[in-house]
Amino acid sequence: MEEQSRKNNNVPNFLLSVRLKYVKLGYHYLVSNAMYLLLIPLLGIIFVHLSTITVEDLVLLSDHLRFNFIAVIFLSVLLVFLATLYLMTRPRNVFLVDFSCYKPGNELLCTREFVVERAKGIGSFSEESVAFQKKILERAGLGNKTYSAPGILKFPQNICMDEARKEVEMVLFGAIDDVLRKTGVNVKEIGILVVNCSLFCPTPSISSMIVNHYKLRGNILSYNLGGMGCSAGLISVDLAKQLLQVHPNSYALVASMESVTLNCYFGNHKPMLVTNCLFRLGGAAILLSNKSSERRRSKYQLIHTVRTHKGADDTSYSCVFQQEDENKKVGVALSKDLMAVAGEALKTNITTLGPLVLPMSEQLLFLITLVARKVLKMKINPYIPDFKLAFEHFCIHAGGRAVLDELEKNLDLSEWHMEPSRMTLYRFGNTSSSSLWYELAYSEAKGRIRKGDRTWQIAFGSGFKCNSAVWRALRTINPAKEKNPWTEEIDEFPVEVPKVAMINTS
């Protein structure tokens, strides 16, 4: 009997847990609706007061206004002026009409076994380097149906400027063709073009390649962003948003990708070998507009963009660095401080984003905890806001398993919230700045997007940067009417991704 009692003491008190859950829900409901709860008595008092007004009171009011005609005219003109000023200066709404992600053909499939075998066959890698890449691939969270560029898959490899140009044309033209087909927008209507590709910056630029191919109009505002890392896609969206504030009735085309053809590393410096294992072929095209007429058919409205740059700190600046090794071979080195730097960048970003999106109940808890720690010097853990109260969907850059694991833990997200990011990493690999759009396409293909849902896109990039974008769904997305890279195989997902997936090679 005593032993049974001891066992019972070790069982969690589920009744207490349930009670605490409902206490917290009640707290959030009370704070979130505090304004309405306070207004109800006030409206009641006003209604009671108005009910005592007689016809004589209304006549007296009319006489008062007639004898103060100039004051009435002045107030009316002032109200019209202020209303006009507000309408002219308020930010323009930015709508995401539609977007497309490029899906290569099966001839460009790149299995994990292929990467290891090719590393052995090239001859430039030592046995230790091959073993290191194999170990990374086994733990990276990538599956066997990712894609790579034609020049890399050929044997012998054909890594040259011409192949890199062909890769860009294949990916971006494919994505742009699809988004133009979906939206029916004439290319001559596009007034803004923003392209990002960090490591491949040819002359003429990629934006010029697009202008030439689609014969875009001569006065188009075109921008080509380079060297800004995996978060450059959201920087492109933010730049397009700023331009749409000053150019009325416009369309903005954003194209995001990372060319892999010229950016494989063929040395033996371990910090530079990781990118060989993670990065894969992919790209996206996004059509934005500030036309009020586009609201009806658009998928999302852009609510916030928040950009954080930690480049003033030397450790942050150098944690993702393109350089030459001791044998003059170029690669991108990832520092051991990367995860710590990313955590600090995220913390700074959500400090700005939190007040914009979190309910008052969460902001109040955060403020109380902050005052207790900083002012009262109480030894308590910092309060991590519950962002699940602000967003229904999370698109976290699929940079690698370690990044996703860290954010899942820090933001206290569920497997369901992380599913789009993990499945994108598994199916398409790290496609750099375009990965966020494959993730949003996954949620659409699963039928998860409902009208009014809010989506938080989070991306990290060299420099070091952390950028966020918040979207609100303007309509419920019907997966049966959508065509994206997941459509034909969405029923196969989610899949179980083991912590270590062994690679069998000869």
3-state secondary structure of 120: helix
Catalytic residue among 393, 417, 466, 467: 393
Q: Is 417 a catalytic residue?
A: no
Residue 219 phi/psi, 5° resolution? -100, 20
The answer to whether the beta carbons of residues 231 and 291 sit under 8 Å apart is: no
Catalytic residue among 264, 397, 417, 467: 397
Distance from first CA to last CA of the chain, Å, rounded?
A: 60
Spell out a b/e string for 40-77, using b for 16 or more CB atoms within 10 Å of the CB, else e: eeeeeeeeeeeeeeeeeeeeeeeeeeeeeeeeeeeeee
Q: Is 397 a catalytic residue?
A: yes
CA dist., res. 170 & res. 29, Å (int):
51
Q: Is 64 a catalytic residue?
A: no
Catalytic residue among 224, 276, 309, 467: 309
Q: Residue 158 has which token pair? A: 């054909």
Catalytic residue among 196, 290, 349, 430: 430
Spell out a b/e string for 350-379, using b for 16 or more CB atoms within 10 Å of the CB, else e: beebbeebbbebbeebbeebeeeeeeeeee
| Secondary element (H or E) of residue 394 | strand 393-396
Q: Which of 488, 486, 482 is nearest to 420 (CA)?
A: 486
Q: Is 49 a catalytic residue?
A: no
β-strand pairing of 221-225 with 454-461? unpaired
Alpha-carbon radius of gyration of the chain: 28
CA dist., res. 244 & res. 291, Å (int):
10
Q: Which of 208, 195, 318 is nearest to 259 (CA)?
A: 195
Query: Quick one: 477 exposed, middle or buried, by C-beta within 10 A (0-12, 13-18, 19+)?
Result: buried
CA dist., res. 251 & res. 97, Å (int):
9
CA dist., res. 259 & res. 431, Å (int):
9
Instruction: Give strand pairing partners of 289.
Output: 95, 251
Q: Which of 276, 323, 22 is nearest to 134 (CA)?
A: 276
Q: Residue 426 has which token pair? A: 């598994």
* Residues catalogued as catalytic: 230, 309, 393, 397, 430
